[in-house]
């Protein structure tokens, strides 16, 4: 039987902040350090510090991320982050991120790194 270990999240770059609002802001790129990666994907730690659900838009370009930031009504590409939630998700290195809210605003912090 194989042994598995889980490594705690280790930041590998500067954090970025996105203020999600009713109109999603221009998507920005989270910095990646390719020298420290073992694959084309990287983990990112997301913290929704606000009191509103933030619908994350992610993409390989700023335009794709912006287009993916939508309020989910049936089957859309946004990723909902509940208020106060912390998530670690994997995306391609150098992805772009933005966020949309149904009302008000929420600041989402994104930190590139490795581990869970």
Q: Is residue 4 part of a domain?
A: no
Q: What is the pLDDT of residue 36?
A: 60
* Residue 93 or 85, more confident: 85
For the chain, the domain total comes to 1
Check residue 95 and give its pLDDT. 92
Q: Which domain holds residue 23?
A: 10-114
- Which regions of 5-116 does DSSP assign to beta strands (E)? 10-11, 16-21, 28-29, 41-48, 54-59, 79-81, 86-92, 96-100, 105-114
- pLDDT mean over 71-77: 89
Quick check: is 48 in a domain?
yes
Decide if 23 contacts 70 (C-beta within 8 A): no
CA atoms of 69 and 20, how far apart (whole Å) = 10
In a domain, 3, yes or no: no
Please indicate whether residue 38 or residue 91 has the higher confidence score (pLDDT): 91
What's the mean per-residue pLDDT of the chain?
90
- Domain assignment present for 38: yes
CATH number at residue 19: 2.60.120
Distance CA 32, CA 79 (A): 21
């Amino acid at each position: 039987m194989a042994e598995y270990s889980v490594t705690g999240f280790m930041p590998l770059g500067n954090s970025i902040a996105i203020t999600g609002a009713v109109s999603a802001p221009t998507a920005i790129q989270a910095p990646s350090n390719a020298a420290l990666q073992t694959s084309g994907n990287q983990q990112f730690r997301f913290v929704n510090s606000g009191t509103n659900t933030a619908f994350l838009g992610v993409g390989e370009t700023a335009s794709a991320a912006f287009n993916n930031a939508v309020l989910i009504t049936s089957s859309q590409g946004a990723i909902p982050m509940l208020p106060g939630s912390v998530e670690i998700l994997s995306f391609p290195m150098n992805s772009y991120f933005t966020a949309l809210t149904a009302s008000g605003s929420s600041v989402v912090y994104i930190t590139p790194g490795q581990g869970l």
